[in-house]
Amino acid sequence: GENVEQHPSTLSVQEGDSAVIKCTYSDSASNYFPWYKQELGKGPQLIIDIRSNVGEKKDQRIAVTLNKTAKHFSLHITETQPEDSAVYFCAASDFNKFYFGSGTKLNVKP
Amino acid sequence: GAGVSQSPSNKVTEKGKDVELRCDPISGHTALYWYRQSLGQGLEFLIYFQGNSAPDKSGLPSDRFSAERTGGSVSTLTIQRTQQEDSAVYLCASSLGKRATDTQYFGPGTRLTVL
């Protein structure tokens, strides 16, 4: 089955700096890669996603890149703000089965 | 409109007891997912429903776990003879179900503690 690895497990940045979270996957059949933000006591919330036929996608301060050949994808957050502090999860999907990374706890220091 | 709701929000039970966890998806969403999140870990896929049927049950950890969905809406995850390793947050998500890439909307989860 699919195996998704996510790094780093914790990330601390200064407000205004950029943050990058990286994931790798093992199954070349995976074709959809969403990213989720989870705040304490809440369920994950989709923040951006990318499909396998696209190399990069941006939405304001958030961007995701995908390298299908190397089987890795990354989340980039620019101009970080304290409200970006949360746990971020990557996931890989083939059809309707989703495999999640172990999460990155992002702390943005004011 | 209302999001995905789950009940109870917290459940404490004794080892060996059965528990039922409930998920109410967003109205009109035909796809429903169950995940398990252990402390400090990522989400582990358990089962997926399209309508009332579950095409793939391979994520269920053991035969003590079962799930059903009735009327294409509410779903119940049942854990029989609970064990301490079942302690986790159980999350439910729903989506429109028209495509595999439809956005999943998550509920707040049920925190299960097995003593």
d(Cα A49, Cα A59) in Å, to the nearest integer? 10
Q: Name the band, by pLDDT with cuts 50, 70 and 90, for residue B98.
A: confident
CB environment B27-58: b (16+ within 10 A), e (fewer): eebbbbbbbbbeeeebbbbbbbbeeeebeeee
| Arithmetic mean of pLDDT, A88-96 | 89
The dihedral built from the CA positions of residue B31, A40, B10 and B15, taken in this order, carries a sign that is positive
Contacts of A60 (CB under 8 A, 6+ apart): none
CA distance B102 to chain A (A): 10
Chain B partners within 8 Å of A6 (Cβ): 42
pLDDT (0 to 100) of residue B1: 55
Report the residue from A51, A98, A102 with minimal CB separation from B45: A98
The answer to whether A102 and A95 are in contact (CB under 8 A) is: no
Show residues of chain B in contact with A7, CB under 8 Å.
none
Radius of gyration of chain A (CA): 13
Q: How large is the average pLDDT for residues A35-63? A: 93
Interface of B with A (CB under 8 A): 4, 31, 33, 35, 40-45, 48, 50, 55-56, 59, 91, 93, 100-101, 103-109
What's phi and psi for A88, nearest 5 deg? Answer: -110, 135
pLDDT tens for A19-30 read: 999 999 999 889
For chain B, percent of residues with pLDDT exceeding 70: 99
Q: Searching chain A, which residue's CA lies closest to the CA of residue B97?
A: A96
